[in-house]
Amino acid sequence: MKLAENSNMDQRDHWLERWITRMKIAGIAACVVAGMLVFAPHSVHAQSGTIEWRKSTPFPEPRADCATGVIDGRLIMAGGTYWEGTKGNWVKKHFSKSAHAFDPGSEQWEQLPDAPTPFSGAASTVIDDRLYVLGGYTGEQESRQILVLAKVGGHFEWSQAGELPDTRLFAWAGAVGKSIYWLGGVRRFEPMDAKGTCCTSATGTSQLMVLNTSSPPSHWEERCPYPGGKRWLFAAATDGKSIWMLGGRDSDTPQQEPIVYDEILEYSITKNTWHARPPLPREVAATAPLTPVYRDGHLLLVSFFKTIWKLDLQTNEYSQETPLPEEAMVDRFFWIDGQLVGAGGENKIESPRRRSEWTFIGRVQGAAP
């Protein structure tokens, strides 16, 4: 659904009717629970300001679209892209195989062993202190590799853990128990120009798959695909019971004006069904891309404009959190020892090609150190 404001009950009912009709046309009604689409209209409240932010030690090799996760209490940043050139003359995108770990306690970065191959746009998640890197693009071709970074005998090592059933970039991955949930993305790298400016979504997929890592060799199993139009650059998060998918955009060609989605879709892991929540408020959707992180019944939505929105998943009410110190699109944030930690991505100084060196640490006021 294109970005639109739904601020009263009549508009919400009209949106709901259109959404259900669209699902019937798509032929995926079995995966959609229309009866669960009952929520109060959203509202946006003033800033609550419960997070204290600071900038920490800079990321040594600023990159975006990294594989990220937490191993042994440290933020891992692996792979990603950066641009060659200078402001106004960014000439080529490079794909990296570098890996780094950030310790929020000492606030120091450590260089880790390089990945076996460069990659970017790979989905990633951590199970049992093992970072799974799913697919991505090497700079020359799409990859089906599943790479794993883990500590072995006190040292970090890379290994390969099989292959994906298909190529995939800009998908989302999340861990639920011992299983990896792998959602959406595109099957091909589709740059908008010869320099590598990203991207179109002509090969986008709505597929959702799951892999149980506890009993290898195992295989990927299909779950209900997300409803509605294909998209990339969506945001997603999980609490282990549901997966929330927010926003996204779609354009088949560089010349096409992208369709920008304001949808919030929720997937029930136990029921294998999707249902729609009320869409993002206009003022929230306007600050996308969003980076969500779950905590205590809320989604924190970190925007590209410093603004941080707090969505109460029970009441569907939004409030503003303390903004980031700088404008940056961080790949992912994680809770580590009571602190919200994220690094890298793009900044808005010379966006969209300038990579961010900022490392952000946020502590909830009143939380134990």
Instruction: Band the pLDDT of 366: cuts 50, 70, 90.
Output: low
Amino acid identity of 328? A
Determine the pLDDT at residue 142: 95
The percent of residues above 90 in pLDDT, for the chain, comes to: 70
Interval 139-169: pLDDT, tens: 999 999 999 999 999 899 999 999 999 999 9
- Could you tell me if 119 and 138 are in contact, meaning their C-beta atoms sit under 8 angstroms apart? yes
Instruction: Band the pLDDT of 365: cuts 50, 70, 90.
Output: confident
Determine the pLDDT at residue 118: 97
The percent of residues above 70 in pLDDT, for the chain, comes to: 85
How far CA 306 is from CA of 72, 348, 351, in Å, comes to: 29, 10, 14
Number of domains in the chain: 1
Which is more confident, 107 or 26? Answer: 107
Give the closest residue to 22 by CA, choosing from 289, 238, 274, 290. Answer: 274
Give the closest residue to 175 by CA, choosing from 212, 222, 150. Answer: 212
Instruction: Band the pLDDT of 33: cuts 50, 70, 90.
Output: low
Determine the pLDDT at residue 244: 98
Q: Does residue 254 lie in a domain region?
A: yes
Determine the pLDDT at residue 132: 98
Which is more confident, 257 or 172? Answer: 172
Determine the pLDDT at residue 16: 39
Determine the pLDDT at residue 7: 33
Determine the pLDDT at residue 278: 93
Determine the pLDDT at residue 359: 98
If one counts every other C-beta atom within 10 angstroms of the C-beta of residue 40, the result is 11
Determine the pLDDT at residue 15: 38
Q: Does residue 280 lie in a domain region?
A: yes
- The continuous run of DSSP H or E covering 20 comes out as helix 9-26
Q: Does residue 4 lie in a domain region?
A: no
Determine the pLDDT at residue 254: 82
Is residue 246 left, alpha or beta, with left meaning phi > 0 and alpha meaning psi from -120 to 50? beta
Q: What's the whole-number mean pLDDT along residues 157-183?
A: 96
Interval 43-67: pLDDT, tens: 666 666 789 999 999 999 999 999 9
Q: Does residue 23 lie in a domain region?
A: yes
Which is more confident, 315 or 85? Answer: 315
- Could you tell me if 78 and 27 are in contact, meaning their C-beta atoms sit under 8 angstroms apart? no
If one counts every other C-beta atom within 10 angstroms of the C-beta of residue 20, the result is 16
How far CA 366 is from CA of 50, 143, 212, 236, 295, in Å, comes to: 9, 45, 38, 28, 15
Distance of CA 329 to the CA centre of its chain: 11
Residue 362 token pair: 């946020």
CATH of the domain at 129: 2.120.10.80
d(CA 28, CA 30): 5
Q: What domain range includes position 294?
A: 9-364
Q: Does residue 149 lie in a domain region?
A: yes
Q: What's the whole-number mean pLDDT along residues 345-361?
A: 87
Q: What's the whole-number mean pLDDT along residues 4-17?
A: 36
Q: Does residue 285 lie in a domain region?
A: yes
Which is more confident, 69 or 89? Answer: 69
The answer to whether residue 270 scores a pLDDT higher than 80 is: yes
> Residue holding tokens 């799913």?
134
Determine the pLDDT at residue 255: 84
Determine the pLDDT at residue 175: 97
- Could you tell me if 68 and 332 are in contact, meaning their C-beta atoms sit under 8 angstroms apart? yes
Amino acid identity of 179? S
Strand partners, 187: none
Q: Does residue 369 lie in a domain region?
A: no
Instruction: Band the pLDDT of 12: cuts 50, 70, 90.
Output: very low
- Could you tell me if 100 and 110 are in contact, meaning their C-beta atoms sit under 8 angstroms apart? yes
**CA dihedral of 115, 129, 336, 209, whole degrees rounded to 10:** 80
Instruction: Band the pLDDT of 274: cuts 50, 70, 90.
Output: very high
Q: What's the whole-number mean pLDDT along residues 325-353?
A: 91
Which is more confident, 134 or 192? Answer: 134
d(CA 149, CA 93): 25
Q: Does residue 2 lie in a domain region?
A: no
Residue 364 token pair: 């909830």
Average pLDDT, the chain: 87
Q: What's the whole-number mean pLDDT along residues 195-207?
A: 86
Give the closest residue to 277 by CA, choosing from 304, 314, 307. Answer: 314
